[in-house]
Amino acid sequence: MDFFDFSGKTALVTGGSRGLGREIALGLARCGANVVVASRKLEACEAVAAEVRAIGPRALAVACHVGQWDALDPLMESTLAEFGRLDILVNNAGMSPLAPSSVETSEELFDKVVSVNFKGPFRLSALAGTHMVEAGGGSIISISSIGAEFPSPATAPYAASKAALNTLTMALAREYAPTVRVNTVMPGSFRTDIAKSWPDGAEARTPAALGRYGEPEEILTSVLYLASDHSSFTTGSVIRVDGGRYAPSF
C-alpha cells in the first residue's frame, strides 16, 4: 500500500456506506486520503466515516441520493467547504433490480435505475471534472458492471445504464484532458451484501474463468492505480475486474 500515497488529497466515494464502496473508501483512507462518504442514509455514512477517522485521515459523511440531479451541487459544495479540494471521485453508487420482463418493467423502475446508475454519475462527474480542471488535476473513476457486456433479459435497464456509463468514460476523458483522467472499472460478481440475495448455489455456477465470486478487497488495487499518478497515461479506459467472465450470470 506504500506504493500509493494520497496524503493531503480528498476522495469522494458515492455509495460508500457498504459493499465495494465501503472497501474503496477505507482503502483510500489507508493510503492517506481524506474521504467523503456519500450515500442515501446518513447513519450508514457516519459509520464508515468513523472507520476512516479511526484509520487516521479526516472524513465527512453526506446523505445524498445521487439519482437526484439537484442533490449533487450541494454534495460538491459540502466537500469543498470541508476540505477545500477534490482530487478523486469514485462514482460507485448503483442499483441492480431484476425485472420480470421488459414489457412488465415500469417507467418508475426504469427511470430510477437510469437516474442512479447513469444520470447521477454524469452530473457529478461534470461538476467534479470542472473543479478539478480549475484546480490543476484529478481522477474520476466510475464503477460499472460486466453486465454491460453480458446483459440478460432480467437486467436489461441495469445493463444498458452501465453500458452508457462505459461510453461516457471516453467522452469525459476527452473533455477534461489533459489534467483530469477519467476511467471506469467494470467488476463482475463480488461477495458483498447484495450477493446474499442471489440464488443458492449461484457461485458454483458462475460463468467466470476463476469459477468464484470476487472478494471486495480484490477490486481495490485497480481503483488505487487509477486514482494515483502511476496511471498518468491511462484515461478513457474501461478495466475489467471480473474473474474472467464469459457469459451472463442470470
List active site positions: 158
Q: What are 210's strand-pairing partners?
A: none
User: Is the separation of the CB atoms in 238 and 222 below 8 Å?
Assistant: no
List helix spans (H) across 120-199. Answer: 120-135, 156-176
| Helical (H) or strand (E) element with 140 | strand 138-143
DSSP letter at 208 equals B
In 3D, which of 95, 217, 91, 244 has the Cα closest to residue 161? Answer: 95
- Residue 133 CA neighbour count, 13 Å, CB half: 13
CB atoms within 10 A of CB 217: 13
In whole angstroms, what is the distance from residue 125 CA to residue 141 CA?
A: 9
